[in-house]
Amino acid sequence: MLIRRSVCFALLALLLVNGCKDRQITAYRALKDPAPAAMPPAMASTNAGALPEGHPPIDGRSSSQTQPAPGGMAGTAVPTAGGSGLTWTAPAAWTVKPNGSMRKGSFAIKSDSGEADLSITAFPGATGGLEANLNRWRGQVGLPPQSPTEVTAAVEKFSAHGLDFMLVDYAGGGNRLIGAIVPFGGNSWFFKLMGPDALVAGQKDAFREFLHTVKEPAP
């Protein structure tokens, strides 16, 4: 009888242990992850070159963040584009913001009614294709996705400084997104201005002028 009872108890205990298995907080000492090998060495300088001409470096933050972190998360970081960058000249009224790890350029456009955000990013290749990117942008202002023919029909195309711009303007839910996609040097560059509808609509001409200042850096 004793054997039988103890066997039953042992089983029950074993089963109950399982409940705790996924909840164990562990502590250990680990070697640091090796510095990433695949990080293009040109990245830090590219980012500095992406600042407006003559602009002082921004609070040291962008350069420190783009350097391969010692160990760190580099293995999971989204690869942004390497290679040579583009340059631009922004209106004085726009405020320069820190780039962070993903952006090549970052501005805030402020008014009494709110703040719009202009981000400049670049990623290798076609990054999923034009239609997918445009539909992603549509989703960001709450518009439903369109078929490839519909979505490309609304694209306004123009060229400046030997670059081909594809410009779109989406408004929905009180917000507006004006964006341009530029293929350059094997990468796709994204210029995205997003914010309150009235503010962004008022900045459309300024944004278009800004795009006309975007060019390849002089050699």
Partner 1 sequence: MNAVVRQFRDFFVSLQLTVVLLILSLLLVFVATLDQVNLGIWAVQAKYFRSFFVMWQVPGSNVAIPIFPGGYFIGGMLLTNLICAHVYRFAFNFKKLGIQLAHSGLILLLLGELITGLLQVDNNMRLEEGETKHYSESFRDNELAILDRTNPAYDDVVAIPEAVLADEGTIQHPKLPFVVKVKAYYANATLQMGDPAGRPGAPVATQGIGARVQVLPLALTYKPDERNLPAVFVEIIGPAGSAGTWVVSPVVGMPQTFSFEGHTWELVFRFKRTYHPFALTLLKFSHDKYPGTEIPKNFSSRVRVKSDDGRDDREVLIYMNNPLRHGGFTFYQAGFENNDKVTILQVVGNPGWLLPYIACIMMGLGLVIQFGQSLRGFIRKRTAAAAAP
C-beta of 141: minimal distance to partner 1 in Å?
12
Closest CA to 216 of 185, 192, 193: 185
Per-residue x/- track, 88-127, partner 1 (CB under 8 A): ------------xxx------------x-x-x--------
Count CB neighbours of 6 within 10 A.
10
Give the residue, chosen from 84, 111, 127, 140, that forms a contact with partner 1 under the rule CB under 8 A: 140
Contact assessment for residue 47 and residue 5, using Cβ atoms and an 8 Å cutoff: no
Report the DSSP beta bridge partners of residue 110.
115
Classify residue 85 by burial, with Cβ atoms within 10 Å: 0-12, 13-18, 19+. Answer: buried
Q: Does 2 bind partner 1 (CB under 8 A)?
A: no
One residue of 44, 52, 78, 153 binding partner 1 per CB under 8 A: 78
Least Å distance between CB 115 and partner 1?
8
- Residue 200 main-chain phi, psi, to 5 deg: -65, -40
Nearer to partner 1, 3 or 92 (CB): 3
Look-up: residue for tokens 């090998």? 37
Q: Site residues (CB under 8 A) for partner 1?
A: 1, 3-4, 7-8, 11-12, 14-15, 17-18, 21-32, 34, 37-38, 65, 69-73, 76-78, 100-102, 115, 117, 119, 140
